[in-house]
Amino acid sequence: MTSYSERLWPTPWLFVATLLILPAVALALTPINVTVAIISAILSYLIVGAIMLLSAPKISIVDGVFTAGPARIPVAMLGAVDELSDTELRVAIGPGCDARAHLLIRGWIHSGVRVEITDPADPAPYWVLTTRRPAELAAAILKARSAT
């Protein structure tokens, strides 16, 4: 049973910013052929957009397993969960970051959570994740952990 699910989609402004690919590719290929330049520019933009969409990681809690991108851990192995504001997130992934921590960060998301890992065999002491819904994720982790 899924108790939480979120996909970290890119923000719309990121797609607007990648529109700069169009003139860059067109400018580079126009001396060869204008038609090839226009088609290549449009295809390049579509390919970059598809890569951004297809590479958006997912955070979920399904059947007692917490998944953040490619990393998975049973919720029974999770400790304290801290919601992180914009400022707290900057400290958590900057000067306050343990090099062993697992990070799932998207620069266009400015809130997150820090989840302590209690598994002694896991080299990561905690995970820091960006999320648009930190309170909901923290509550879902605590609820799933108490159910096990």
pLDDT tens-digit readout, 108-129: 999 999 999 999 999 999 999 9
Instruction: Examine the domain organization and report whether 80 and 142 are in the same domain.
Output: yes
Structure tokens at 74: 């049973």
Question: What would the pLDDT profile of 33-78 be if each residue is shown by its tens digit?
Answer: 999 999 999 999 999 999 999 999 999 999 999 999 999 999 999 9
Instruction: Examine the domain organization and report whether 38 and 99 are in the same domain.
Output: no
- 143 with 7: CB under 8 angstroms? no
Q: Is residue 3 part of a domain?
A: no
Instruction: Examine the domain organization and report whether 88 and 130 are in the same domain.
Output: yes
Phi and psi angles of residue 96, each rounded to the nearest 5 degrees, phi first: -95, 10
Instruction: Examine the domain organization and report whether 110 and 75 are in the same domain.
Output: yes
Instruction: Examine the domain organization and report whether 84 and 119 are in the same domain.
Output: yes
- What's the residue count for the chain? 148
Instruction: Examine the domain organization and report whether 43 and 75 are in the same domain.
Output: no
Could you tell me the residue range of the domain that residue 40 belongs to?
8-54
Cα-only R_g, the chain: 20
Instruction: Examine the domain organization and report whether 40 and 72 are in the same domain.
Output: no
Cα(62)–Cα(68) distance, integer angstroms = 11
Which DSSP category does 75 fall into?
G
